[in-house]
Amino acid sequence: MDTISLAFYALAFLIIAAAIFVVTSKNIFHSAIYLILALFGVAGVYVLLQAPFLAAAQVLMYVGAVSMLMIFAIMLTARIADQTIRHTNEQVLTGLLLSLGLLAVIVYSLWQTPFAISSDPMPEGAGGTLGKLLLTQFALPFEIVSVLLLGALIGAVVIAKKDSVRRDPEAPTTPLPKSIEKVAG
């Protein structure tokens, strides 16, 4: 077994194990930590697929930004009791059957499909090629994505603003923990 195969199987094992822990862990904070592990594994897979720029972007965007956002949200919302209450709903059996069925269908069709595998070499300096593609052939989607990110930024600020909170009078009136009260006002 050569090095690439060994690295692939190690990464695949890491990603799948971490992903299973993400969806089954009782403590939502542990789920977030396992999610970071799985995302690191995916960055490793990008390296194996000769996409070094994407691997770096993955570490920056997912491991750095999105995971931090998740942990931030968990710390603002979780209560101490979270670890003891049930963390799954009544659909566990249905969900398991559905996802296993979906997996069977996808894997069966994958192994039945003859893919047109090309043996062309990857372009030298894939990062530079990527940048050129983004600013020539994909210039319009590139600009639209920047508008989308700006919209998401403004949208997140507007949605989470203090003034927009209208308390539901029928909601249970348990007091907020001190740390949250400071943020929520």
- Which residues, 95 to 154, sit near another protein by CB under 8 A? 95-96, 98-100, 102-103, 106-107, 110-111, 115-118, 120-123, 126, 129-130, 133-134, 138, 141, 145, 148-149, 151-153
Cα–Cα distance for residue pair 34/15, rounded to 1 Å: 9
Cα Rg of the chain (Å, integer): 22
Return the residues of window 34-93 that contact another protein according to CB under 8 A: 35, 38-39, 42, 45-46, 48-51, 53-54, 57-58, 61-62, 65-66, 69-70, 72-74, 76-77, 82, 86-89, 91-92
Does position 179 bind another protein by CB under 8 A? no
Q: In sequence order, what are the residues at sequence separation of 6 or more whose Cβ sits closer than 8 angstroms to the Cβ of residue 158?
A: 164
Shortest approach of another protein to residue 88 CB, angstroms? Answer: 5
Count other Cβ atoms within 10 Å, centred on residue 135.
10
Q: Which two tokens stand for residue 25?
A: 């862990």
- Contact pick of 20, 83, 139, 177 for another protein (by CB under 8 A): 20
Shortest approach of another protein to residue 115 CB, angstroms? Answer: 6
Q: Which two tokens stand for residue 69?
A: 């956002």
Cα–Cα distance for residue pair 139/132, rounded to 1 Å: 9
Count residues near another protein (CB under 8 A).
95
Of the candidates 104, 122, 107, the residue with the CA atom closest to the CA atom of residue 46: 122
Does position 168 bind another protein by CB under 8 A? yes
